[in-house]
């Protein structure tokens, strides 16, 4: 994870991490002929991280036919909660392409 000039993780990098975790979770819970697309992300950055690793855990809150809601927690090396987030994913079936 990149750090800013103040030696802390950058919030936008956490959002990208959240997007990856939500997308992976939704893809695993989506039929093979459908796509999971991000609709909305809400993140609360609770404390900074200036060194070490961060770990993210994605858990489904609701898995529906057309949308999923995932809660994602990011923790530091000491297990402290540094960010809590929710991401909404749209589940869509791609339209067949014209030949």
CATH number for 81: 3.10.129.10
Give me the half-sphere count of Cα atoms (radius 13 Å) on the Cβ side of residue 18.
29
Strand pairing category for 67-76 and 35-45: unpaired
Q: Is residue 2 part of a domain?
A: no
Count of structural domains, the chain: 1
Q: What is the pLDDT of residues 36-84, one digit of tens each?
A: 999 999 999 999 888 889 999 999 999 999 999 999 999 999 999 999 9
Please give the residue range of the domain that contains residue 23. Answer: 11-92
Q: Provide the phi-psi class of 76: left if phi over 0, else alpha when psi is between -120 and 50, else beta.
A: beta
- In what helix (H) or strand (E) does residue 44 lie, and over which residues does it extend? strand 35-45
Q: Is residue 51 part of a domain?
A: yes
Q: Is residue 18 part of a domain?
A: yes
pTM score of the predicted model: 0.84
Q: Are 90 and 39 in contact (CB under 8 A)?
A: yes
Q: Is residue 97 part of a domain?
A: no
pLDDT class of 9 with cuts at 50, 70, 90: low
């Amino acid at each position: 994870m990149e750090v800013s000039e103040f030696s802390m993780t950058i919030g936008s990098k956490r959002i990208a991490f959240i997007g990856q975790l939500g997308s992976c979770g939704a893809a695993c819970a989506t039929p093979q002929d459908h796509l999971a697309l991000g609709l909305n992300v809400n993140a609360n950055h609770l404390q900074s991280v200036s060194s070490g690793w961060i770990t993210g855990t994605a858990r489904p809150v609701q898995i529906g036919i057309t949308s999923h809601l995932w809660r994602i927690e990011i923790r530091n090396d000491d297990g402290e909660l540094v960010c809590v987030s929710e991401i909404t994913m749209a589940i869509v079936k791609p339209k067949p392409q014209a030949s």
